[in-house]
Amino acid sequence: MLHPEAPVSPVSSPVSPAVDPAQGTTPLYRAAAGGHHEIVRLLLDHGADPDRPSGGPEEGLPLCAAACWDHAETVQALLDGGADPDAAEEGGWTALLWAAANGNLESADVLLDAGADPGLADEDGDTPLTLAALFGAYGIVWSLLEHGADPAAPGWDGATPLEIAARLAGADLEAVLRDDAAARLGGEHTVLVAHSAAPDGTRRVTVEARGEGARTGVYTVARQYGHAAAATVLEAALGLRPPPEELLRRVLPYRDLDEDDETWWAAVHALRGRHDEETFRAVTRLCESDDPVRREFGVDVLAQFGRDTGHLPGQDTGHDDRQDEVLGILRDLARRETEPAVVEALLAAFGHRADERALPEVLAIVGGPGREPTVNDPVALAAVLPSGDEDGLAALIRLTECGDDEVRDWATMGLAGLPADTARIREALAARLADRDVTTVAEAARGLAARGDRRALTGVHRVLCEAGAGQGYARDLALEAAQELGLDISGA
């Protein structure tokens, strides 16, 4: 079945009674395939049946078309209009299967949140999980597992999702897709290759092949470089525990591919969720390595080892008492570490551990000669700052004056969240009401309002007047500050 995007003619009001024609393409299907969610809602309001298949060649259900092309707002509109999230078209294909097969994370999440069955297979036996594993859609694999998908259920050929992901994790994905395109077209053809960021942060590669001479035609195929991360999350869901060194070897090839080290963090989260002594000792040995990458990996794991709140599906969420031992390892390493990436990992770890005993090490890093602050500086400092420590407070206030907007914002948030209420804190927050960054202004206003300081109203007024369409967080903070001061401006 094809779901071509096609231009949609304007729909006049009132809509014709023939919103569900007996033959041919239905207006609802055409609007859904094109991602015109407002027209979809209008047609539904005028009686269009959201579960009626379209009658055009190789067409089907509007919901499947929207999910296939990742028109998430249209998927939501159809669901709001009563579409069955598990309705299937020819071959047993549901909207969730289409989303998983094409790596469409946003549409998959909308469908799962609406109650789509994460284990419903097509007539050949493929499940959303096997299709997502084949595509390398790490984010969809994670989401399916969170919604109860069976990680052991095989696909049409008997291969499990883990076997599928592991097979492709070490493959040259672009070469695999080029070979696939050549086999489909045969003969002479030209190939175009495009790389882009996938919705879950891994990389997506798209190969388009065009036949030449007598064998004309176009074949397009895409995959994501998320197979290694998917294999890791599937192992955790199945209760498998590869050694830390094995996971580290698996993720290293992806450090230059992933947008935000997604494969790295999948392995880190898998190890953090464990509670056994063998894993703990293996990770501490990484922190003692001469290789800075191994030290960085070990620190990232120890940051929340045994108590990770962002656990992978199927992991134990219990808590073990390793705080003293972990903190000792991290503090000792911080006193001698010079590699910038490991230093950043240490600051992040201290922020997670939030233990005041780490203040000397955090202050030494933050105040080091030539140090260019990052967001880890204020996050770590605010997390370990004891009440009444003037040196630590002075360092945090200096960070609220940093030239980097993001650092200044996080520092202001940290300062605002301190339990203490002193004139020094209030004045530092009041100084940020004139900040050029509207989110920083909102953080300062919230901190002042929490202390009953009505100077916060200046910040509230600025935020509500200046915050743009993409700054809802700042507006929410401003409204919270106003409410804290007893003002009802919820309609602002």
User: Predicted confidence band at 315 (pLDDT cuts at 50, 70, 90)?
Assistant: low
Q: Is the pLDDT of residue 360 over 50?
A: yes
Q: What are phi and psi of 341, to 5 degrees?
A: -65, -35
DSSP letters for 121-179:
--TTS--HHHHHHHHT-HHHHHHHHHTT--TT---TTS--HHHHHHHHHTS-HHHHHHH
This prediction has a pTM of 0.87
User: What are the start and end residues of each CATH 1.25.10.10 domain in the chain?
Assistant: 389-491
Q: Which two tokens stand for residue 187?
A: 């003969």
Residues 160 and 125: their CA atoms lie apart, in Å, by 11
Q: Is the pLDDT of residue 283 over 70?
A: yes
Residues 270 and 139: their CA atoms lie apart, in Å, by 15
Helix (H, G, I), strand (E, B) or coil at 194: strand
User: Predicted confidence band at 242 (pLDDT cuts at 50, 70, 90)?
Assistant: very high
Residue 27 CA, distance from chain mean position = 34
**Mean pLDDT for the chain?**
91
- β-strand partners of 191: 209
Query: Which helix (H) or strand (E) segment is 103 a member of?
Result: none
Residues 426 and 377: their CA atoms lie apart, in Å, by 21
Helix (H, G, I), strand (E, B) or coil at 191: strand
Query: Which helix (H) or strand (E) segment is 244 a member of?
Result: helix 244-251
Q: Which two tokens stand for residue 203?
A: 């990389």
Q: Which two tokens stand for residue 460?
A: 């509230």
3-state helix, strand, coil split of the chain in percent (to 5) is 55, 5, 40
Q: Is the pLDDT of residue 308 over 70?
A: no
Per-residue pLDDT of 42-82, as tens digits, reads 999 999 999 999 988 889 999 999 999 999 999 999 999 99
User: What are the start and end residues of each CATH 1.25.40.20 domain in the chain?
Assistant: 27-162
Report how far apart, in Å, the C-alpha atoms of 405 and of each of 144, 408, 478, 479 are: 37, 5, 18, 22
pLDDT for the residue 214 = 56
Nearest to 384 by CA among 375, 372, 396: 396
Q: Which two tokens stand for residue 76?
A: 């939501």
Q: Which two tokens stand for residue 165?
A: 């992901």
CATH fold, domain 27-162, is 1.25.40
Answer yes or no: are the C-beta atoms of 365 and 350 closer than 8 Å.
no
Per-residue pLDDT of 445-464, as tens digits, reads 999 999 999 999 999 999 99
Residues 59 and 83: their CA atoms lie apart, in Å, by 17
Helix (H, G, I), strand (E, B) or coil at 84: coil
Residues 324 and 395: their CA atoms lie apart, in Å, by 25
Mean pLDDT score, 364-379: 96
pLDDT for the residue 187 = 78
Residues 100 and 107: their CA atoms lie apart, in Å, by 9
Residues 264 and 217: their CA atoms lie apart, in Å, by 39
Nearest to 157 by CA among 207, 121, 105: 121
Q: Is the pLDDT of residue 87 over 80?
A: yes
pLDDT for the residue 487 = 86
pLDDT for the residue 8 = 36
User: Predicted confidence band at 1 (pLDDT cuts at 50, 70, 90)?
Assistant: very low
Per-residue pLDDT of 210-238, as tens digits, reads 987 656 788 999 999 999 999 999 999 99
pLDDT > 90: percent of the chain: 83
Per-residue pLDDT of 5-33, as tens digits, reads 433 333 334 445 466 676 789 999 999 99
Q: Is the pLDDT of residue 4 over 70?
A: no
pLDDT for the residue 490 = 59
Per-residue pLDDT of 169-203, as tens digits, reads 989 999 999 999 888 887 788 999 999 999 999 99
Residues 164 and 168: their CA atoms lie apart, in Å, by 7
Report how far apart, in Å, the C-alpha atoms of 61 and of each of 88, 109, 187 are: 8, 19, 36
pLDDT for the residue 23 = 75
CATH fold, domain 389-491, is Leucine-rich Repeat Variant (1.25.10)
